[in-house]
Structure 1
Amino acid sequence: MPVPDLPDVVLWSIPAFILLTIVEVVSYRLHPDDDAAGYETRDAAASITMGLGSLFTDLLWKIPAIAVYSALYEATPLRIDVTWWSVLLMLLGQDFFYYWSHRGHHVIRLLWASHVVHHSSRKFNLSTALRQPWTSATSWPFYLPLIVCGVHPAALAFCSSVNLVYQFWIHTERIGKLPRPYEFVFNTPSHHRVHHASQGGYLDRNFGGILIVWDRLFGSFAPETERCAYGLTKNIATYNPLRVATHEYAAIARDVRAARGWRERAGRVLRGPGWEPERPVPVPGEAAGAAAGIRA
């Protein structure tokens, strides 16, 4: 299986990540914005720690993914050569499946337990982009169709890296809305601020990676119309990286233990993050009669 000669986009981008983050921090010092979330030292430190930790955990989670991708690639008769135009098509395909992966991680609680890490900050700045989960094994199955179509696993990894690097710069409040044609097609800071907001009208919106057209096509787009309040609907009061990484898994375990039956247990794991089972509402008269019978 010949490996395409493609650059490590993330590695080459690290100096730019550092430089742009420093520039943003300085910009808040020189030109404060009382309405912006800005930076907070403990929050930024937690985000950076999560990002550094993900570099090591990703190496472990990639082992089974690479094994499955490689076996599937060898089994499929299809092959897509790596050329400049085919890479553009691969990027388009990867971004399409990224949209569905991202959307799935918001509507299935077990997947949300991984992705919630990225949304757990109440700040929104370039350091927030580095707040990555330590359980990234939940994403790779979404891209299996690309491997079946003949995309080399290394080419898929390259496209995923490009997508990740693109999304770094959209984690900022220092850039307002861009020209309308760009805002219509591409993901922008304005669109991504909505995605990180916790207001009801903004929840589960704007899942696109590079392109926002997927959200427009599949009904999940929302424009930025009011200032965003960032974080979770129930925020966590911790900067401990281990707790940030695992708090939702712990919450799922508590809910499963307390569940009444297997249907509810399955719902606690596979339904949406805010799902609650329907409980029968006692009729006041029946409840009083039952209480009287017990006393008698």
Structure 2
Amino acid sequence: MEILFSEMPNPFTYFVPLFFLLIAGEAYISYREDKELYSLKDSLASTWVGIGAAVFNTLTKAYQIGLFFVFYQLFEPLRIQFLGYDNLGWAWWVWVLCLIGDDFNFYWHHRFCHTIRLFWAAHLVHHSSDKFNLGTAFRNGWTIFLYKPIYWIWLPILGFNPVMIALCMSFNSIYQFFLHSTLVPKIPVFGQVFNTPWVHQVHHARNIEYLDRNHGGILIIWDKLFGTYMDKDKHMKTEFGVLHPPTKHDPITLNFHEFNDIWKDVRSVKSWKAKFMYVFGPPGWSHDGSRKTSKMLQQEWEQQKKAMPAQKEAQPELVA
């Protein structure tokens, strides 16, 4: 059975009322218990960025699925010749494999968004808030939809239907909405395999030791497999946001200020290697060492942490 793009349901339509109901409930709890999870300026920024992201996602949806269909059709003769099938169909196990493949793609897409500055420029808006609440989930970069599908191309090549892929991507996004809350405690067994709000707080934190951790979407096992997992320390205060927050909070600035900074850095150097690194190197890289990447900052933090016990031991004891 084939489903046409024009017939594809939009899962978000059914979840939007639930999203707003939960946001209202979280805001009420925040107000009642004086938790300060929301602020008017921050919520307005999230709303406008979210509306823009929804518009850009809608406008690029045909491009994204169309790209999948191109590779789906292009490789059909090769699948028949070398793999013995034309497509994988719609069986339940195909859905399971597609969901797993989609989440694997999301992990690497998300990880590169934090380690390649050009992609970080598109993703930074999602981390720009110093609040962590369900409304933050709507802060998605407007330009991210242009390159994101590239990570998914291998799925239609193998014969996964493009509509199935698009639906799995939507299911992943819906699941991630529920990750953006500080009101959910640690979930012991479930949290060993699946991503939870507890560990997603680490991902949104600007604490040095938490930088570039927990990139998974639905599953947290990718972070455990590829060395980017870190549990939340309940004894340490979590600071949310980015190390160098933007000075303005309008949606245009939030979405494009890092692209402007990249352009300024590229123009400031003559070396083509430096120009390349300012675009495709890690965020924080600089040709003169005046700035530091997250790995550099974490190495310094580790050295300071190791030096602290030695410093305590070296201090003379006070004799009464």
The TM-score, its normalising length taken from structure 2, stands at 0.83
Give the number of equivalent residue pairs. Answer: 275
| Other-structure match for 1:196 | 204
Say which SS state the counterpart of residue 154 (structure 1) adopts.
helix
Q: Distance in 2 between matches of 1:259 and 1:47?
A: 35
Question: How far apart are 1:183 and its partner, in Å?
Answer: 1.2
Partner residue of 1:147?
Answer: 156
Distance 1:32 1:182 in 2: 29
Instruction: Give the CA RMSD over aligned residues.
Output: 1.5
Residue 163 of structure 1, aligned match among 172, 176, 185:
172
**Counterpart for residue 65 of structure 1:** 64
Matches of 2:221 and 2:123 in 1, distance apart?
22
User: How far apart are 1:12 and its partner, in Å?
Assistant: 1.1
2:216 & 2:40 partners in 1: Cα distance? 29
In structure 2, the CA distance between the partners of 1:142 and 1:267, relative to structure 1 (3 Å rule), is same
Contact 1:205 1:221 in 2 (8 A): yes
- Contact 1:171 1:193 (C-alpha < 8 Å) held by counterparts: yes
2: CA distance, partners of 1:7 / 1:85: 20
1:19 maps onto 2:28 in alignment: no
2:224 aligned residue? 216
1:30 deviates by: 1.5
Q: Contact 2:129/2:136 (CA < 8 Å) preserved in 1?
A: yes
Q: Distance in 2 between matches of 1:259 and 1:138?
A: 27
Contact 1:113/1:248 (8 A) holds in 2: yes
Identity %: 36
Alignment of 1:241 with 2:243, yes or no, is: no
What TM-score do the two structures reach when normalised by structure 1?
0.89
**Amino acid across the alignment from 2:17:** P
Residue 94 of structure 1 and its aligned partner are, at CA, apart by 0.3
SS in 2 for 1:94: helix
2:105 paired with 1:97: yes
How does 1:1-296 map onto structure 2 within 5 Å?
Answer: 2-3=2-3, 7-33=9-35, 38-77=37-76, 78=79, 79-135=87-143, 136-178=145-187, 180-225=188-233, 226-278=236-288
In structure 1, runs of 5+ residues without a counterpart are: 280-296
Deviations 1:52-101 (A, max 9, x none): 11111123333433332111100122411112222111101100111000
Between the aligned partners of 1:196 and 1:70, the Cα distance in structure 2 is: 34
SS at 1:256's partner residue? helix
User: Is contact 1:62–1:137 with CA below 8 Å preserved after alignment?
Assistant: no
Mark the runs of 5 or more structure 2 residues left unpaired by the alignment. 80-86, 290-320
Answer with 61-70 or 147-156: which moved more. 61-70
* 1:6–1:155 CA contact under 8 A, matched in 2: no
Shift of 1:278: 4.8
The whole-number CA distance in structure 1 between the counterparts of 2:115 and 2:213 is: 11
Farther off after superposition, 196-205 or 255-264: 255-264
